Structure 1
């Protein structure tokens, strides 16, 4: 078991390592991008990576406080689902209604279980999980963002 400080240090070390690994990878539009703090350019739309409870997830989250607008945004994304590159061996999970930290949201995501940034032996699996999915979501977002801009 790790102390809070040790766990925080390992998490920070993982995200720093991952950020350095992804730094040379350009966005779908050929621009430099901060993959760790990816900016969608739209309020209430976030690309999130999580590592908690021996699982990792990455996805595009719709957080609009108005449930009707959030539902319209989700419908728009679903209508464009064919633009989201496939990841061999795993389908994207589309959730019209979900909750994270008592906040309602909609999202499209993928999840990997049995990994933790606290275990350095899991880092290659985490990096191999996050990298192609981030690139796929970025490619998708570069095209899907425009219909959502009108729904802000």
Structure 2
């Protein structure tokens, strides 16, 4: 078992390693990008990569505090579902109005990798191999898809 500080240091070490590994890859628009802290440019829409004790996930989180507006964002992503799946090369899970770890209502579109741990450095290559192609595919998808959300901008 790790102390809270040790767990934090291991997580930080993983994300630093991931960042260094993917840093040479430019965004779909040709810019240098912070892949681990991806900015969609759209308030309340995030691309999240999470690595925990037993599972890793990557996905799109919609966090708008108004559930009806959150649903509008989700429906817009549903319009783009086949395009998203074409870019990522696989089917993802779609959850409208689920609860995150802080108890807030969010909507998620995501893919999980079970049986891996950020606390086991032997799993890091599998985690990087899981995250890298998917975040790059999300960026490629978002390069064109973001314009579909112009009417929903605050």
The verdict on a shared fold, with TM-score over 0.5 as the criterion, is yes
* 1:10-46 deviation digits (Å, cap 9, x = unpaired): 1111110000001011111111110011111111111
1:135 aligns to 2:136 (yes or no): yes
Distance 2:40 2:136 in 1: 13
What TM-score do the two structures reach when normalised by structure 2? 0.91
Show the 5 A alignment for 1:16-31: 16-31=16-31
Q: CA RMSD in A?
A: 1.3
Show the 5 A alignment for 1:107-122: 107-122=108-123
Flag the structure with higher helix content. 2
Structure 1 equivalent of residue 148 of structure 2: 147
* 1:47-73 deviation digits (Å, cap 9, x = unpaired): 111112410111111111111111111
Show the 5 A alignment for 1:1-80: 1-80=1-80
* 1:52-110 deviation digits (Å, cap 9, x = unpaired): 241011111111111111111111111112221133xx521111221102111112110
SS in 2 for 1:144: helix
More deviation, 65-74/142-151: 142-151
Show the 5 A alignment for 1:93-108: 93-100=93-100, 101-108=102-109
Q: How many residues are aligned here?
A: 150
Gaps of 5+ in 2: none
Gaps of 5+ in 1: none
1:147 positional shift? 1.9
Distance 1:25 1:74 in 2: 29
